[in-house]
């Protein structure tokens, strides 16, 4: 019989079906020592061991997922802090970048199209604060699929933009029968098409379009 005072206790645990890892957790005996003690002893894992083996990978995946979530949260907070306060020129250039990517650049019409409510809010803020437009110059048309629900979508974009109902043009409903099922429900509120109308003031219409083209050329 082994003279180590923990041997008998370790043997009881081993006979009860515990792994070297679990015995090490309970008694702080090195796994190499346990292997040396019980290398010739038959081993039948108990239910706890079987449960660990079965669900161990799941638990590890959960730990990795939670670690990823925490990292995303931390880096997001760092990013927000790095940006700091947005001044007027920042807003000018930020909106210009948005217009370069999502805005109309032909036919001397001003339009931005997007499905992201934050992008649409930024576009309206840019048109108002940088381009000097008012609500009366901004109209919106919603493009949706039949399963979106027109009333729900109009209410959503009305709340997002702060525009009155009279600024909403006729909703365009895509009724194509060959719509890919993969895209179904991808745009629960459709796509918002922001257009600018001059109300007879060229400075808020064609001349503004030409200025924005100049901003784009200057930036690029």
pLDDT in tens, 102-132: 999 888 999 999 999 999 999 999 999 999 9
3-state secondary structure 32-62: HHHHHHHCCCCCCCCHHHHHHHHHHHHHHHH
140: three-class secondary structure by DSSP? strand
Strand partners, 103: 112
pLDDT in tens, 120-167: 999 999 999 999 999 999 999 999 988 888 999 999 999 999 999 999
Task: Please say if the pLDDT value at position 219 is more than 90.
Answer: yes
Q: Identify the pLDDT of residue 178.
A: 64
Cα separation, 108 vs 44, in Å, equals 79
Q: Report the share of the chain in percent with pLDDT over 70.
A: 91
Task: Please say if the pLDDT value at position 1 is more than 60.
Answer: no
Domain ranges in the chain are: 7-44, 88-219
Q: What is the mean pLDDT of the chain?
A: 89
């Amino acid at each position: 019989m082994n003279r180590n005072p923990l041997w008998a206790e370790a043997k009881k645990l081993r006979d009860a079906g515990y792994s070297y890892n679990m015995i090490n957790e309970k008694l702080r005996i090195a796994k190499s020592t346990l292997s040396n003690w019980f290398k010739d002893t038959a081993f039948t894992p108990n239910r706890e061991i079987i449960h660990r083996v079965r669900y161990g990978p799941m638990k590890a995946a959960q730990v990795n997922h939670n670690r990823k979530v925490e990292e995303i949260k931390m880096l997001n907070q760092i990013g927000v802090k790095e940006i700091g306060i947005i001044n007027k020129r920042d807003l000018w250039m930020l909106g210009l970048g948005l217009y370069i990517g999502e805005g109309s650049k032909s036919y001397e019409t001003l339009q931005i199209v997007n499905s992201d409510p934050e992008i649409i809010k930024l576009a309206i803020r840019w048109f108002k604060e940088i381009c000097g437009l008012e609500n009366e110059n901004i109209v919106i048309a919603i493009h949706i699929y039949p399963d979106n629900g027109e009333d729900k979508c109009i209410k959503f974009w009305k709340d997002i933009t702060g525009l009155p109902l009279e600024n909403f043009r006729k909703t365009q409903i895509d009724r194509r029968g060959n719509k890919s099922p993969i895209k179904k429900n991808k745009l629960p509120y459709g796509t918002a098409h922001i257009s600018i109308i001059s109300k007879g003031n060229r400075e808020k219409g064609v001349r503004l379009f030409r200025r924005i083209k100049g901003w784009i050329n200057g930036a690029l």
